[in-house]
């Protein structure tokens, strides 16, 4: 169907039966294997340092990786277009025919990579087919930096690890890249092309390249030890180009740790701005918080830098003038990358700390607020990437056998964690909680005997001096979140 491009935008007009068919595909989620809850999948990212073969230069390896990546992008875009055209004509995609079509487009690319691209693009299409056919989402278009997808059977036997260096082989091309009939190929080349090849002295591309990867962190070394011992299983590998560097991202699978923790011990985590995360427990008055000062300071620094670079763009030097919008905004893009890396690294540190606190207190469950039901214009959701933080807490907790439960956050900040009374006036300000019924947080406390009373002065129980009780609102909310079935309890209390 001429005129249809992989990157075409705009609303797509489809018939009602096509939309219905796409909706049924979305609901059925066909083509997906059921996930085993006892098997976890994570990724190990290693930077490619150099080719392992001393006869191959880094420029030659880079050229091969770039060429294979561009071929993969061409195959992926054509595969997506084929899925779309078949959906428009209401025809079922024949995988054998599709494979032959894609192989004819890029015959030099390895057949195993073509198979992996078909699976990846097919899964993407089935996930977003309904949105694409109804015009809610544009047809996906993949860039030239599309990752090389390598099946585990094609590389895991080539991995070597001696404790300091990791080497592995990356299959990229088919035998057709070797030019089986060089005489016929030579006839097609002009004299100028032959002279250029002789001047460059380029070596022909190989079917696969052996590389040396950087292993810096002790955690990465431990993962490689477990992969080589068979404790962890190799999965698909992706070779990705990012900021002029290439990385091998190896997916690996392992069995979830057997739950030896107490399932009745629950840790509640409340997210906010002044405190990025405040945690409490349902069995103890223990509490803790991750202050938001570090995030606030960095956000203010990034904001000032971005504003400064934007102002400088108006009167920048000749090196940034006359080269287009992209060159002029390059400093701002570098700031965006720095901010993204800071958020990612900080969320890793925070999530690791919170999961460690749950382990130290023998908690078998972590409960957090369900953020998907909160409006997107909520102020504190724009302040930090809380979704990423929750996701990192989830997979780190599941890796050690801790169950993660997301609950409805409504009224958890207004409910008294002691008596259950719910009222918006229980929070006179952002940081303070005072119950209007049992006066929790609005009375006096004796640290000698633990007695609470409404009057100031001496303790009516032991005679010691009492102090004003102050309950932080985030602690009260975290205490509510640590309550089993808190969303059901609040629903009953609200009538």
303-312 pLDDT, tens digit per residue, is 787 777 766 6
pLDDT of amino acid 9: 38
pLDDT of amino acid 328: 62
Spatial separation of the C-alpha atoms in residues 175 and 84, rounded to whole Å: 31
412 neighbors 424 (Cβ within 8 angstroms): no
Q: Of residues 241, 270, 442, 487, which has the active-site annotation?
A: 270
Q: Which residues of the chain have pLDDT under 70?
A: 1-35, 37, 178-203, 257-259, 310-332, 373-383
Instruction: Look up 369 and say whether it is catalytic.
Output: yes
Instruction: Look up 429 and say whether it is catalytic.
Output: no
Spatial separation of the C-alpha atoms in residues 228 and 239, rounded to whole Å: 20
Spatial separation of the C-alpha atoms in residues 491 and 234, rounded to whole Å: 46
Q: Of residues 241, 442, 474, 487, which has the active-site annotation?
A: 474
Give 13's DSSP letter: P
367 neighbors 405 (Cβ within 8 angstroms): yes
Instruction: Look up 454 and say whether it is catalytic.
Output: no
pLDDT of amino acid 174: 87
Spatial separation of the C-alpha atoms in residues 17 and 26, rounded to whole Å: 14
Residue 262: closest CA among 360, 351, 354, 370:
360
pLDDT of amino acid 273: 82
Spatial separation of the C-alpha atoms in residues 150 and 120, rounded to whole Å: 11
- Residue whose token pair is 């209007």: 436
Strand partners, 277: 271, 290
pLDDT of amino acid 235: 93
Strand, helix or coil for residue 270 = strand
Give 344's DSSP letter: H
Q: Of residues 131, 311, 356, 369, which has the active-site annotation?
A: 369
Spatial separation of the C-alpha atoms in residues 31 and 129, rounded to whole Å: 13
Q: E-assigned strands of 345-464?
A: 363-369, 403-407, 432-433, 444-445, 452-453
pLDDT of amino acid 179: 60
Strand, helix or coil for residue 94 = coil
Which two structure tokens, joined as six digits, stand for 487?
């969303």
φ/ψ (deg, to 5) at 44: -115, 120
pLDDT of amino acid 251: 94
């Amino acid at each position: 169907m001429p005129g249809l491009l992989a990157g075409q935008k705009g609303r797509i007009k489809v018939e009602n039966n096509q939309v219905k068919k796409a909706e049924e595909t979305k609901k059925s989620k066909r083509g997906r294997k059921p996930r085993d809850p006892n098997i976890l999948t994570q990724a190990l990212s290693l930077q490619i340092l150099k080719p392992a073969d001393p006869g191959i230069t880094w420029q030659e390896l880079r050229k091969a990786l770039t060429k294979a990546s561009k071929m993969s992008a061409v195959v992926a875009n054509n595969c997506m277009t084929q899925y779309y055209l078949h959906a428009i004509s209401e025809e079922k995609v024949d995988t054998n025919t599709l494979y032959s079509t894609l192989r004819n487009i890029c015959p030099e690319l390895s057949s195993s990579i073509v198979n992996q691209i078909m699976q990846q693009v097919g899964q993407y299409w089935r996930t977003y087919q309904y949105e694409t056919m109804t015009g809610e989402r544009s047809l996906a278009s993949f860039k030239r930096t599309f990752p090389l997808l390598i099946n585990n059977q094609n590389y895991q036997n080539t991995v070597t690890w001696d404790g300091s260096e990791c080497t592995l082989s990356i299959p990229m091309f088919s035998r057709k890249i070797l030019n089986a009939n060089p005489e016929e190929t030579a006839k097609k080349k002009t004299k100028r092309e032959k002279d250029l090849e002789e001047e460059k002295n380029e070596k022909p591309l190989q079917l696969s390249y052996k590389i040396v990867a950087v292993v810096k962190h002790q955690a990465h070394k431990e993962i490689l030890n477990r992969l080589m011992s068979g404790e962890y299983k190799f999965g698909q590998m992706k070779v990705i180009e990012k900021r002029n560097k290439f990385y091998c991202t190896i997916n690996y699978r392992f069995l979830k740790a057997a739950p030896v923790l107490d399932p009745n011990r629950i840790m509640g985590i409340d997210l906010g701005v002044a405190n990025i995360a405040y945690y409490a427990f349902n069995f103890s008055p223990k509490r803790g918080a991750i202050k938001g000062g570090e995030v606030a300071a960095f956000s203010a620094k990034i904001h000032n830098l971005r504003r400064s670079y934007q102002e400088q763009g108006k009167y920048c030097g000749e090196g940034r003038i006359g080269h287009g919008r992209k060159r002029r905004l390059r400093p701002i893009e570098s700031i965006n990358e720095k901010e993204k890396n800071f958020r990612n690294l900080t969320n890793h540190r925070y999530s690791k700390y919170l999961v460690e606190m749950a382990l130290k207190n023998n908690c078998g469950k972590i409960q957090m607020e369900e953020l998907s039901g909160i409006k997107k214009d909520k102020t504190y959701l724009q302040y930090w990437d809380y979704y990423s933080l929750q996701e990192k807490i989830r997979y780190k907790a599941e890796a050690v056998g801790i169950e993660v439960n997301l609950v409805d956050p409504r009224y958890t900040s207004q409910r008294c964690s002691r008596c259950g009374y719910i009222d918006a006036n229980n929070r006179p300000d952002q940081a303070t909680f005072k119950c209007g019924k049992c006066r929790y947080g609005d009375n006096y406390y004796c640290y000698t005997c633990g007695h609470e009373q409404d009057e100031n002065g001496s303790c009516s129980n032991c005679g010691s001096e009492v102090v004003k009780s102050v309950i932080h609102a985030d602690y009260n909310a975290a205490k509510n979140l640590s309550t089993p079935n808190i969303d059901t309890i609040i629903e009953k209390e609200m009538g």
